[in-house]
Chain A
Amino acid sequence: MDLLLLIQGLLIGIFCYLGSVSSPWLMGVTGGYYVVGRPLVAGLIIGLILGDVTTGIILGVAVQAAFIATISTGGTQNSEITYAAYGGIALGLLSNADTGVAVTLSVGIGTLGLILHNLMMIVNSVWNKRTEKAAAEGNATKIIYNNAVYPQLLNFVLRVVPITLAVYFGQGFITRVLDIIPKDVTQIMTVLGGLLPALGIALLMNLLIKENKQLIFFLTGFVIIVFFTDSMIALTVFGVLIAYIVFLSLGQSQIETDDDGVI
């Protein structure tokens, strides 16, 4: 038994828990889900744990690209980003996989993780009744236990155990699989790894774009990056300028309609 690997797997599992959407310890989602839970940050943490920061971050950047536009609105999502980040990057790093393979691993693990996450969301209904009862009794301590302690124990187990096992047993398995799969399959994984960000971005567009004519702003942003500059900062400043102009012009038409109303 490889004790070092087991401890490394356990540490990665604990960070996977800390970065989960419902973990409260790092200032709620602010320091957890949106910081430790992001693949970019996970890459650094996994790199530190496994002793290869550079590769960890490179894989983190690749997986982050696939999940760049991951959004979870109203409690629904298509892949569980924290499982994806910690499982995918750790296994990718341990098996010396290239970035396309790591991204595909992440997406697969993220889908499995989503099942566990949804299981937790269903089981958590139990605490609702108990919290209501505690509130009726005016028992604040009991509310805190039912909101924070019990659900978190469940969340902890559901995160740490699978990730530890995956890291511990997955390494040799993934390495062997990667050795025997044909070149075409690796190529498919690489192509898919490049295509996956399109899905996340499409989901984001679906959230933001309400009218087809807004597509012109999407195209503008796209073309600026393709033809003029690689810098997102430059694009953001330019975007703020346009947004401000639109804000002002909308204000004017607002006042005009108000005047019409008075007349």
Chain B
Amino acid sequence: MFHLSSMSFEKLEANGFAHSMIPILKKLYKDDPEAYKQALERHTAFYNTEPQVGSLVNGVVASIEEERANGKEVNDEMIHSVKTGLMGPIAGMGDSIIQGIIIPILLSIGMGISANGNPVGVFVYILGYLSIILTVSYLLYMRGYKMGVQAVDELLGANSERLRSAFTLLGVMVVGGLAASFVKLNTILQIPNGEEVLEFQKTLDGFFPKLLPLIAVLVCWYLISKRKWSATKVLLFLIVVSIAGVLLNVF
């Protein structure tokens, strides 16, 4: 919970991890103040992950520390490598699943209900999100604790690769839906057609209603993904497009 509290560019969540280990370390090393100090120091090393599903790492590390306190041969490198080995994949999966799939889906459901100012949609989002994440976070911590290092293999094994592809695919489809729902762009171009003028947007609506938003998203994606533009640069680009479009009477 306090993971991001003192987040800094230098060590990101290192202090938070140490903080979260205090209760368990205190219990484990209560008869050995020297080992307790060493353990605390061990956990101030650079650390960064998705804090909600990252509870798995806290669970794993707690169980390893317990083994060590009970006299098993566990060296510092092992604990560091477990932490650094887990934090990357978990951050990747956690960020894309939570921020890429769960939150956008719940938000868009809530937004649909709240579009006319109805507060019910807001509560749907709050309750839905809290119940999902708190359950997942708690289960992952306990699971990490019970399985110890084995959890590492389970997460990094072939099964997780399949699971990850499947989740990514779901995410990509949902993102497609979000694009269609939330990006808005219409043209006011008029094409002279004999005596009458043809409203170009109506023609577009005839065969593909949201074609312009689709193009806008694909252009942005192309610039970021293929041209390696920064988000700020794309933002400026969109501003220029809006200004030019309005002044030239296109939008």
Residues of chain A at the chain B interface (Cβ within 8 Å): 21-24, 27-31, 34-35, 38, 40-41, 43-44, 53-58, 60-61, 64-65, 68-75, 78-79, 107, 118, 121-125, 127-128, 131-132, 134-138, 140, 143-144, 146-148, 150-152, 184, 187-189, 191-199, 201-210, 214, 217-226, 230-233, 235-236, 238-240, 242-244, 246-247, 250-251, 254
Query: What are the residues of chain A within 8 A of B12 when measuring CB–CB?
Result: 75
Chain B contact residue count (CB 8 A cutoff):
110
A196 x B177 contact (CB < 8 A):
no
B104 x A30 contact (CB < 8 A):
no
CB distance from A44 to the nearest CB of B (A): 4
Query: What are the residues of chain A within 8 A of B114 when measuring CB–CB?
Result: 40, 43, 57, 60-61
Q: How far is the CA of A27 from the CA of B232 in the complex (A)?
A: 31
A206 x B224 contact (CB < 8 A):
yes
B172 x A58 contact (CB < 8 A):
no
Q: How far is the CA of A205 from the CA of B107 in the complex (A)?
A: 17
A-B contact pairs, 6 of them (CB 8 A): A23-B5, A27-B1, A56-B117, A69-B100, A199-B235, A246-B165
Contact residues of B between 138 and 190, Cβ < 8 Å to A: 158, 162-163, 165-185
Within 8 Å by CB of B180, from A60, A146, A188, A225, lies A225
B247 x A184 contact (CB < 8 A):
yes
Query: What are the residues of chain B within 8 A of A194 when measuring CB–CB?
Result: 183-185
A57 x B122 contact (CB < 8 A):
yes
Q: How far is the CA of A131 from the CA of B20 in the complex (A)?
A: 13
Q: How far is the CA of A32 from the CA of B160 in the complex (A)?
A: 29
| B133 at the binding interface (Cβ < 8 Å) | yes
Within 8 Å by CB of B15, from A57, A68, A128, A187, lies A128
Chain A-chain B contacts (Cβ-Cβ < 8 Å), number:
364
Query: What are the residues of chain B within 8 A of A242 when measuring CB–CB?
Result: 169-170, 173
Closest 8 CB pairs of A and B: A221-B176, A194-B184, A54-B117, A202-B220, A78-B231, A124-B8, A225-B180, A138-B37
A65 x B182 contact (CB < 8 A):
yes
B178 x A69 contact (CB < 8 A):
yes
B103 x A34 contact (CB < 8 A):
yes
Q: How far is the CA of A136 from the CA of B40 in the complex (A)?
A: 7
The answer to whether residues A68 and B107 also contact, given A44-B119, A188-B246, A242-B169 and a CB cut-off of 8 A, is yes
The answer to whether residues A236 and B105 also contact, given A68-B182, A188-B243 and a CB cut-off of 8 A, is yes
Q: How far is the CA of A119 from the CA of B119 in the complex (A)?
A: 35
Among A29, A208, A217, which residue has the most Cβ atoms of chain B within 10 A?
A208
Interface of chain B, main secondary structure: helix
Given contact pairs A40-B107, A118-B9, a sample of 9 additional A-B residue pairs in the complex whose CB atoms are under 8 Å apart: A58-B115, A61-B115, A68-B108, A128-B15, A132-B44, A188-B242, A198-B238, A203-B231, A243-B170
Smallest Cβ-Cβ distance to A192: which chain B residue: B242
CB distance from B34 to the nearest CB of A (A): 8
Within 8 Å by CB of A250, from B166, B173, B183, lies B166
CB distance from B134 to the nearest CB of A (A): 7
Query: What are the residues of chain A within 8 A of B112 when measuring CB–CB?
Result: 230-232
Smallest Cβ-Cβ distance to B230: which chain A residue: A78
A24 x B246 contact (CB < 8 A):
no
Query: What are the residues of chain A within 8 A of B172 when measuring CB–CB?
Result: 205, 208-209, 214, 217-218, 221
B8 x A38 contact (CB < 8 A):
no
Among B1, B166, B176, which residue has the most Cβ atoms of chain A within 10 A?
B176
B162 x A251 contact (CB < 8 A):
yes
| Interface membership of chain B positions 113-144, coded 1 if the CB is closer than 8 angstroms to chain A and 0 otherwise | 01111110110011001100110010000000
Within 8 Å by CB of B209, from A31, A136, A226, A231, lies A226
| B14 at the binding interface (Cβ < 8 Å) | yes
CB distance from B242 to the nearest CB of A (A): 4
The answer to whether residues A35 and B175 also contact, given A24-B5, A65-B111, A135-B44 and a CB cut-off of 8 A, is no
Q: How far is the CA of A220 from the CA of B180 in the complex (A)?
A: 11
Contact residues of B between 181 and 226, Cβ < 8 Å to A: 181-185, 208-210, 213-214, 216-217, 219-221, 223-225
The answer to whether residues A22 and B41 also contact, given A29-B51, A30-B130, A232-B174 and a CB cut-off of 8 A, is no
Of B66-74, B76-84, B91-99, which stretch is located at the interface? B91-99
Query: What are the residues of chain B within 8 A of A202 when measuring CB–CB?
Result: 217, 220-221, 223-225, 234
A199 x B166 contact (CB < 8 A):
no
The answer to whether residues A40 and B111 also contact, given A75-B48, A201-B217, A243-B166 and a CB cut-off of 8 A, is yes
Q: How far is the CA of A30 from the CA of B22 in the complex (A)?
A: 21
A191 x B245 contact (CB < 8 A):
yes
CB distance from A86 to the nearest CB of B (A): 15
Query: What are the residues of chain A within 8 A of B95 when measuring CB–CB?
Result: 71, 73, 207
Q: How far is the CA of A226 from the CA of B163 in the complex (A)?
A: 28
The answer to whether residues A140 and B8 also contact, given A198-B217, A232-B105 and a CB cut-off of 8 A, is no
